[in-house]
Amino acid sequence: MLLCDIGNTTYHFFDGIEHYKKDAKLFDPSSIKEEIFYICVNKQAKELIKPLKNWIDLSTYVDMRNYYETMGIDRVTSCEAIEDGVIVDAGSAVTIDVVKSGRFEGGFIYPGSKAMNECYRNISDALAYSFNFELDLGKMPKNSRDAISYGYLKLLRNEVVSYGMDIYLTGGDAAEFAKIFPYSHIDETLLFKGMKNIMKKANIC
Amino acid sequence: MLLCDIGNTTYHFFDGIEHYKKDAKLFDPSSIKEEIFYICVNKQAKELIKPLKNWIDLSTYVDMRNYYETMGIDRVTSCEAIEDGVIVDAGSAVTIDVVKSGRFEGGFIYPGSKAMNECYRNISDALAYSFNFELDLGKMPKNSRDAISYGYLKLLRNEVVSYGMDIYLTGGDAAEFAKIFPYSHIDETLLFKGMKNIMKKANIC
C-alpha cells in the first residue's frame, strides 16, 4: 500500500517501510499504476490527479466536525496521528496544533523560516541575516542577527512549551527546529500515521 | 528648539509643544532655517541633510558603550527616554527594548504588521487576511484569520508581558498594538524625550 502527502514543493511517499520525496514540479502522478492513498494541498497537482482512478483522496474520509472548514488537510491529518500533544509542522509555514484526548483543540500559523527571512529582508537590508538556531534564548540579544533570531524563535518556543504537552516535530525544517525544541519527538512520517488512522476509522484498510 | 526624528516614511517634528509629520518623499529639509536637532535612519534623507549646517545630528552625542554598533539610532534614542521598562516601537518593524536602571539590557526585532501580513500572503493566498487585533488571545484559534493573528500577536504579547516591567508603546502603529497591551503607556513623543535626555547629558541644552 502506497501513501502520498502532496505539498506545494514535493510529493512525499511512504510505502510502509521507507519514505521518499519527488519534486512537485517534475513528478508525473500518472507514472504510478498501483492503488495509492493521498492528501493534497497543491492546486496544480490536484488537477493532474483528478482523472487518475488509482489515486484515492483521503480528505473525503475525514470526519471534519472536529476541525474547521478552511483548515489545511495536512494539518488535519497530522492531528489524526496523535492522541495528546502539540504538533509543530515546520514547512513553508509553521503550523502548531493542539490535540487533547484525540480531539483538535485549536492551533495557529507562524511563518516558515524562509518566508520570515524574506519578511525581515523586505523591511530593511540591515535585517537580511539568516536565523541563528543555536542562539541562547535565555539572554536578551545585543546584535542584529540575534535580535531577529530571538524575535522569530524565542517567541515560538515559549508559546509551544507553555502548553506543557508532548511536542511532535515534523515537516521539511524539523531538524532545524529540533534545536529549539530539544525534548520533542521528531517524526518525518507523522502525517502517514495520521493517514493510516483515517483509513482505519473509515474501514478502508 | 526644534527636534526631528527621520524615519523611512516620515520626518516627525516636535517644537516643544506640538508634534507633526511630513512625508519623507516630499519634504525638503533645506526649507527649515532655524537650528534643529535630529536623528535619522533614512539613507536618502541623510544625504540631503549632510550639507545643511543648521541640522545637528544627535547620534554623535550618544554614549554608545551601552548599546551595540549596528543598533538603530531610533532604538537607542527611545532607550534614553526611560529609566526602567520595556519599549515597544511599532513601525515597519516592531522593536522591543529592555531598559533597567537606565541601562539597555538587550532587545529584539519583530516584523511590523504590514510586513508580517505580506509574509503570510506570500506563503499562501489562503493566509491573506488582515490581523484581528481584537482576538481573544486566551483561546486557541479555530479559523484561518485567527490562526495567523494569534501567531503574530499572542506570541509577541506574551514575551513582552513576561518581563513584568512597565510597557512604553510608541511608533505609527501604537494605537493598534495598544489593543494587545491594554496596560501600557502610549507615548508618541517618547523618542523626543530620549533626544532631550541625550542633549542634557551632552550639555547642549
Percent of chain B with pLDDT over 90: 93
**Angle at B82 (CA atoms; ends B114, A146), nearest 5 degrees:** 50
Question: What are the tens digits of pLDDT across the range A76-89?
Answer: 999 999 999 999 99
The whole-number pLDDT of residue B9 equals 87
Task: Give residue ranges of B with CB < 8 Å to any A CB.
Answer: 8, 68, 70-72, 92-93, 96, 98, 105-112, 115-116, 118-120, 122-124, 126-127, 139-144, 146-148, 150-151, 154-156, 158-159, 162
Model confidence pLDDT, tens digit, residues B65-92: 999 999 999 999 999 999 999 999 999 9
Give the mean model confidence (pLDDT) for residues A177-199: 96
Q: Is the CB of B124 less than 8 angstroms away from the CB of A93?
A: yes
Task: Looking at the complex, report in whole angstroms how far the Cα of residue B107 sits from the nearest Cα belonging to chain A.
Answer: 6
Euclidean distance between CA atoms A148 and B70, whole angstroms:
13
- The rounded percent of chain A whose pLDDT value lies above 90 is 93
For residue A8, name the pLDDT band (cuts at 50, 70, 90).
confident
Interface test with A, best of B65, B109, B116 (most A CBs within 10 A): B109
The helix/strand/coil state of B119 is helix
- Structure confidence at residue B129 as a pLDDT band (50, 70, 90): very high
Mean of per-residue pLDDT scores for chain A? 96
* Average pLDDT taken over every residue of chain B: 96
pLDDT in tens, A46-71: 999 999 999 999 999 999 999 999 89
Give the least confident one: A30-34, A160-164, B5-9.
B5-9
- Domains belonging to chain B, first-starting first, are 1-59 (3.30.420.40), 85-188 (3.30.420.40)
The b-or-e profile of B29-50 (16+ CB within 10 A means b, else e) is beebeeebbbbbbbeebeebbe
- Cβ contacts below 8 Å, chain A against chain B, sum to 123
Q: How far is B35 from chain A (nearest CA, A)?
A: 30
User: Closest approach of chain B CAs to the CA of A164, in angstroms?
Assistant: 15
Mean pLDDT of the region A110-129: 96
- Rounded to whole angstroms, the Cα distance separating A120 from B202 reads 34
Identify from A41, A64, A119 which residue to disrupt to test chain B contact, counting B C-beta atoms within 10 A and taking the largest count. Answer: A119
Question: Exactly one of A74, A89, A97, A173 is catalytic; which is it?
Answer: A74
